[in-house]
Every structure is written in structure tokens, then in C-alpha cells.
Structure 1
Amino acid sequence: MRRRAERALQAVAFDTIGAGYGEAFPAKDGQLACGRRLLARLEPGAAVLDVGCGTGDPTVRQLTAAGLRVTAVDLSDVMLGLARGTARRDAAHPGRHAPVFHRIDMYDLATERAGRAWNAPGLGPAGHGAFDAVTAFFSLILLPQDEIPVVLARLRRLLRPGGLLALGMVEADLDHVPLPFLGRELRISGYLREDLERVLVESGFAVEEQSWHSYAPASTSLPPEEQLFLCCRRVG
């Protein structure tokens, strides 16, 4: 219960940050490049789950523009509102499936709690095996290190056999460390790249591609960071 409350408080922090997140992180070249690598492996109409969708920009927009069917989840009401607004503005473009948004704690994914929350036709009680791919760009960093393998295993269950995972993380040896973030305090976790690969393999994924980018947020209060992007495939 304590950790669930902590995740809810972090969601409230993102409610306050709102559109300021996009202003602090305006360039998303590494994330978009990872999305393109994912799209090259998927057919139009593939079902994708975006975990921690934030404002929906760029990943929900990128995936829907390519004709994919996107289910996006976040725990921040404000972020989901911004993402829905982005989707409405994009709705006039032909050939796009309207994304579906749900307010869900990512720790609950692949459980009955999430199944009740989205209650979507075709997903079954918990969505097991319902998705061709999952994207999780800088969402797992909000979990303690001991919860990250749990969530990765649940994401694996949501994927069909051979399904794909596109992941973005910050390279840092951190375990739920409180850090100032856009006027709020968030608890952030990270891994060194070899440790992250080990965690993914132990969670049932094969890491097929990796890239990394140095990134300086457009805010003097945030230090430069090394961003890791991995394209993985469900094993078994």
C-alpha cells in the first residue's frame, strides 16, 4: 500500500508539471528513432500498448500516424487529458485508428485490477497476449528497482509470443532516489546498460538492438543525461 501511495503521489506531481514536461524535453530524437525501428517490424493495424504515455507526444502520435491501434495508459489525469487533446487534434488525418486511453497504475498491468479498469473488448480479463508490441519510454524509471522486473514480466504476459518491447531508460545506477524535477521531487531509478540488459533477459526478453544518446534537457535545473533505447523481443 505504501508504494501504491508513492506512485499516486508521483502521478500528482505530473499533474502539476503538465505541459511543462514537453517544454523541458522538446527534442525526442532518440525516442522517435526507437519508434521507427519498432514500426519497421510491425504491420499496419498492429496492436500496441504505450505504458506511461504522458502527453501522447511523440509516441502515441507516431504509432497512430503509422496506422497502428494504440492503447495508452498513464496514472496522471492531467497527462491523459493532454494526450486525449493531442489525439483529437490528429483525428482528422485519414487512415488513423483513434488511440484508446486508460488511467492505470503500470504496476497493475496484466492483473485483474487493470482488466477491470479498461474492460476493453478482445483484451480478456487482464489483456494477456493481446498486444503485438509494448512501448515504455521513461516510465519504468519511476519504479523502485525491485518492482521493475515485476512490471517487465507483466508486460511480457501482455505480449503475444514473439511480441516486441521498445524501452527507454536513463543510464544511471539509481534505486528510487529522490531528485528535483521541474519544481517537484520524483523518485527515479536507473541502471547501467549491462545491468539493464541482464534484467531484461532475466524477465524473458531478448535484446535485439540498443542505442544511446546524450541529452541535455531544456532546463538549467536538470543535468545532462545518457538515454538508453532498447528494442527487445519476447522469448517463449
Structure 2
Amino acid sequence: MTDSMGEGHHLSAAAAFDSLGADYERAFAHSAAHHASLQRLLADLAPGSRVLDVGSGTGRPTAQTLADAGHEVLGVDVSPVMTEIAARQVPGAVFRCADIRTMPPAGADAEEEGFDAVCAYFSLLQMSREDQSRLLRGLGRSLRPGGHLVVATVPLDVEDVGVVFMGRPVRVTSFGAEEFTALVVEAGFSVQWEQNSLFTPAHPAGEPEPQLFLHCRRL
């Protein structure tokens, strides 16, 4: 991401990712750290686990990797374009176009089971800090006791800052690494493993960005 010049119009998450479509997958899906995180999660999951993929994008690599391993995957994304691409590319998973912030937690209905794992790879960055905190707590309620949370972010201390992301003007909010880890712990999780890496998207406008991966368990 690069700093945006001026105070012009910025795209919502839905509009930004509608316009990116498959370009996002081409830029980010080859991340070695992301794939290593998925393999670590697979090693922790029991066969046939129920997994929620928050910000599922085009379905690759996260939903596809999990579905191919025999897990039951529900992907949720705010972008209709991304959701349509994912449903076409990963028929072994189920995708829903929705704002995860307004969805009731799994298990709230007696007939609905909680999830064994939740993945949220870089899907919080266009939410306010309050929404990120509230969502992490909600994801904890969606998990069965002892369930897994894998969350990744760009660990920068920024709040509602205008940036240019793959040529699109957006606003982003994040936390520094220590602050974000503390936020996850406060939401009711124990951090089991973390990795910091530097990744450059495969895109003409791509620049190196720090990335933080946390693997956690619900307390």
C-alpha cells in the first residue's frame, strides 16, 4: 500500500474488491507465508472440520486448500464479484455475500453448530478499530471451545488513513504488532504461534509490506 495524496473519494471494501476481482488473487495467492499458515492449520484440524473463512475473496488459496483437504468451508465476503468468482472456482465450499459484522455468530441458534476454526486473512483492514475488536470477540463466540482462530494483518499503527491499494483509493485501519496481538488476547484467545514476514504483491503497484500471522485457540 502507498500513501494516498489528497482527500478525494475512497472506495468501500465492497467496491474496491469488486473492481479488483481476480487481480487480487494473482497478486497475493502465491504468498509463501500464507500457504505455510494454511498447512499449520491443516495439521491442527480434525478430519471434516467446519471452518469459516472471513473475507474469502476468490476462494484461493484459503477455501480451496481447506475444502480439498476434506473440511466443510463457509466463505463470507462483502464483495459480490469476489463471491461469484469463489463459488465458480471452489465448488467444494459454500460462499455467502454478506458483511460479516452483521451476521449472527454460529451456534446462536440451537440448531446451528459452532465452527472448529475461523480464518481471517487480511480481512479486517478496512474496518474501524472498534469493529475489529467487536468482530474478534464475535468470532470467538462462533468457535467451539478450544477452536482455532487464524488471523493475519498488516501490522502498522494507522487509523482511517487514505492509501492507494493496487491502484484503488481506500481507507485502512490497523494496529502495531504488539497492539494487535493484545487485541486478540483480549477477545478471548490464546496465541499459540506467530510469524512476521515481508511480502511484495505480484502487481505493478505492489510494494513490500509487513505481514503478521497469528494462530490462536479459543479459551
Provide the TM-score with structure 2 as the length reference. Answer: 0.89
Correspondence 1:61-210 to 2 at 5 A: 61-88=64-91, 98-110=92-104, 125=109, 130-210=114-194
Q: Which residue of 2 aligns with 1:212?
A: 196
Kept in 1: contact 2:194–2:215 (CA 8 A): yes
Q: Which residue of 1 aligns with 2:4?
A: none
* CA drift at 1:124: 5.4
Normalising to structure 1: TM-score of the pair? Answer: 0.83
Aligned partners of 1:177 and 1:189 also within 8 Å: yes
Provide closer, same or farther for how the CA distance between residues 139 and 126 of structure 1 changes in structure 2, counting only shifts above 3 A. farther
Give the corresponding residue for 2:38. Answer: 35
Does the Cα contact within 8 Å between 1:128 and 1:158 map onto a contact in 2? no
CA contact (8 A) 1:34 1:229 kept: yes
1:23 Cα deviation (Å)?
2.4
Q: Distance in 1 between matches of 2:129 and 2:152?
A: 15
Task: Tell me the distance in 2 between the aligned counterparts of 1:127 and 1:29.
Answer: 38
- Give me the whole-angstrom Cα distance separating, in 1, the residues matched to 2:171 and 2:112: 29
Unaligned regions of 5+ residues in structure 1, if any?
A: 1-7, 89-97, 116-122
What is the identity percentage for the equivalent residue pairs of Structure 1 and Structure 2?
39
Shift of 1:221: 2.4
Greater Cα shift, 215-224 or 40-49: 215-224
1:126–1:210 CA distance, 2 compared to 1 (3 A): farther
Give 5+ residue unaligned stretches, structure 2. 1-10
**Do the aligned residues in 2 keep the contact of 1:179 with 1:188 (CA within 8 Å)?**
yes
What is the CA RMSD across the aligned residues, in angstroms? 2.2
